[in-house]
Amino acid sequence: MRKKETGTAIGRAGEEAAALYLAARGYRVRERNVRFRSGEIDMVAEEAGVLVFIEVKTRTGPGFGTAAEAVTARKQQQLVRLAGLYLAIRGGADQACRFDVVTVAPAADGTWSCTLIPDAFCAR
C-alpha cells in the first residue's frame, strides 16, 4: 500500500471511530464527508438541539504534532466558510451551531482512543 493510501485508510478508520464515539455520547451524525469545491466538512451532527460541524483529526504518532494542533487558524476559517455554505444550501441558518473537534489516536489495546473538544473554536 502506498503512503497516501495508508494515510487515507487511517483517516477513514479514525472517522469511523469518531462517529461511534460521538453516537455513544448522544450526537446524531447527520452527514459525513460533506464535500464542496473549496473543501470538506468531516461530519455534521446534532447534539442537544445544536447543529455541530465536526473536524476529525487522526494521528498515529507525534511526527506531525498533535491532532488538535492540526486544526490551525486557517483550517478553522475554512470550516467556518464551509459551514456557511452548508447552511445556505441545506438550510438551518436559524439553528444554533458550533464547531467541535475530535482527535483520534491508536490505543494500547489496538482500538482507537477519541477525545472530544466541544466548542473548539468560534466563527469570527
pLDDT in tens, 39-82: 999 999 999 999 999 999 988 776 666 667 778 889 999 999 99
Give pLDDT tens digits for 79-107: 999 999 999 999 888 889 999 999 998 88
H-helix or E-strand spanning residue 101: strand 97-106
Domain that holds residue 110: 3-121
CATH number at residue 36: 3.40.1350.10
Q: Residue 94 corresponds to which amino acid?
A: D
pLDDT, residue 37, reads 94
Number of domain units in the chain: 1
The stretches of 29-117 forming alpha helices (DSSP H) are 73-90
